[in-house]
Amino acid sequence: MAIIPKFFIDAVVSIGNKNHTEIDWIGTGFFVIRKVDKEGNARPFLITNKHVFGNKKSVVIRMKEQDKNSLKEIDVPIVSAAGVHLYKLHPIESIDIAVLPLNGSFITENKLEFPAFDIDEHAMPVSELLEGGVNEGSLVYMIGFPMGLVIKDSQSPICRLGCIARLCEEQIKENHNILLDIQNFPGNSGSPIVSRPEIISIEGTPSLNKCTLIGIVHSYIPYQEQLINSQTKRVVEIRSENSGIANVHPVDYIREIIDEIQAKYIIEEDISSQ
């Protein structure tokens, strides 16, 4: 029984850094669209963490060619020749999200498949999640490409099951995160988090019965342990391990960045039409 829509999984891509003739797969991203008119025309975007882009000038993604099973490696510039970032960040510096507008004509002309989340139809902000009965204990999936698990001729990501550890407005106001109980590893940065449809709930309470995009993974909370010398009583080593609690920015922030990009497009189109 399919719980996650196939195009949700296909919309997730591995992001790589070209090192001479080799590609180091370093992170995860996913495609989204924003419809711009009633005819269904849409603008395409690639979503990931800003630390995945880092100080790079370009990255590599893999896309499937239409009517073929082969994957095509695409060089994607993320910095212009003038040194300007082509991707947009959130005005709050601590929000680790990068939204890169893509060239729709390039996708069409090269006959590339483009499965994508519709950011308005396939995503739910925090307020709607809470109204829909999503809270601590609700099950979620993380879809991504942990480092070392990218298959050369396959676009299939790794899917992991977890649950919401904390979802509250106070948490989001304080550090802009939803907390998940899930194991994320290097390469999972930029992975989308989607809800698991629920058909069972306590009588009189709502339950979310659909799979929807709720956020993006960007880090985990480390657990640190001090090793103390028994003679000197001094700390000689600090070990840091993955606590299993992941930080996830809610989809609200992705929408806010796209809204800003969209507003810029509208202004530019109005000027060009004059």
193: domain CATH number is: 2.40.10.120
Does 174 have pLDDT greater than 70? yes
Does 269 have pLDDT greater than 60? no
Structure tokens at 21: 């003739």
Does 1 have pLDDT greater than 50? no
Mean pLDDT of the chain: 86
**137 part of a folded domain:** yes
Measured in residues, the chain has a length of 274
CA angle, 195 then 197 then 202, to 5°: 110
**206 part of a folded domain:** yes
Who has greater pLDDT, 62 or 38? 62
Structure tokens at 87: 């991707």
Burial of 80 (0-12, 13-18, 19+ CB in 10 A): exposed
Three-state DSSP at 164 gives strand
User: Given phi > 0 = left and psi -120 to 50 = alpha, else beta, which region is 40?
Assistant: left
pTM of the model: 0.87
Q: Which tens digits make up the pLDDT trace of 88-109? A: 999 999 999 999 999 988 999 8
Structure tokens at 242: 């993955």
Burial of 203 (0-12, 13-18, 19+ CB in 10 A): exposed
**60 part of a folded domain:** yes
Structure tokens at 204: 């009189």
Average pLDDT over residues 17-24: 83
**1 part of a folded domain:** no
**233 part of a folded domain:** yes
For residue 183, what pLDDT is reported?
A: 84
Q: Which tens digits make up the pLDDT trace of 134-156? A: 888 899 999 999 877 777 767 88
For residue 137, what pLDDT is reported?
A: 87
Q: For 96-125, give one letter per residue: b (16+ CB within 10 A) or e.
A: bbbbbbbeeeebeeeeebbbbbebeebbbb
Three-state DSSP at 243 gives strand
Residue ranges making up the domain that contains 140: 6-273
Contact present, 195 and 212 (Cβ < 8 Å) = yes
Number of domains into which the chain is organized: 1
Structure tokens at 53: 């882009």
For residue 240, what pLDDT is reported?
A: 64
Q: For 61-78, give one letter per residue: b (16+ CB within 10 A) or e.
A: bbbbeeeeeebeebebeb
Structure tokens at 187: 């390469």
